[in-house]
Amino acid sequence: MSVSKKIKPTESELEILQILWQRESATVREVHEELSKNKTAGYTTTLKLMQIMFEKGIVTRDDRAKTHIYQPALSRQKTQKQFLDKMINGLFAGSSTQLVLQALGNQKTSKSELDEIQKYLDDLKNG
């Protein structure tokens, strides 16, 4: 089993990863400012979380400058796949069909999203 398969970010760690995936790299201050837009969290909490993430191997840290720069060590795609596989197997008895039906039934899906899904399905059918 690879190292990345063993790493399971928590919900708070995923919020930080989302910011790092979007920015590619950031300081604790930058991550904290972004997190503060949606929830109340202390700077020291963000700092501690990012230090723990570094120790777990979820992020890397460049400490050559006075201010540490963090980058995601996990790719968005691999992390999404890991969580999706766990969700399909745990909640939908291994049925991706049930997952898709549930997702489309519970969310307002735009015409452009439906067109994109249809194109993907057509590509799968045609091989």
In the chain, what are the domain boundaries?
3-72, 76-126
Q: Examine the pLDDT at 117 and tell me if it is beyond 70.
A: yes
pLDDT above 70 coverage of the chain, percent: 95
> Averaged over 22-27, what is the pLDDT?
96
Nearest to 46 by CA among 61, 36, 37: 36
> Averaged over 42-51, what is the pLDDT?
95
What's the token pair of residue 53?
């993430």
The mean of the pLDDT values for the chain is: 90
Place 1 in a pLDDT band, splitting at 50, 70 and 90. Answer: very low
Q: Does domain 3-72 have CATH number 1.10.10.10?
A: yes
Place 76 in a pLDDT band, splitting at 50, 70 and 90. Answer: very high
The per-residue pLDDT for 108 is 84
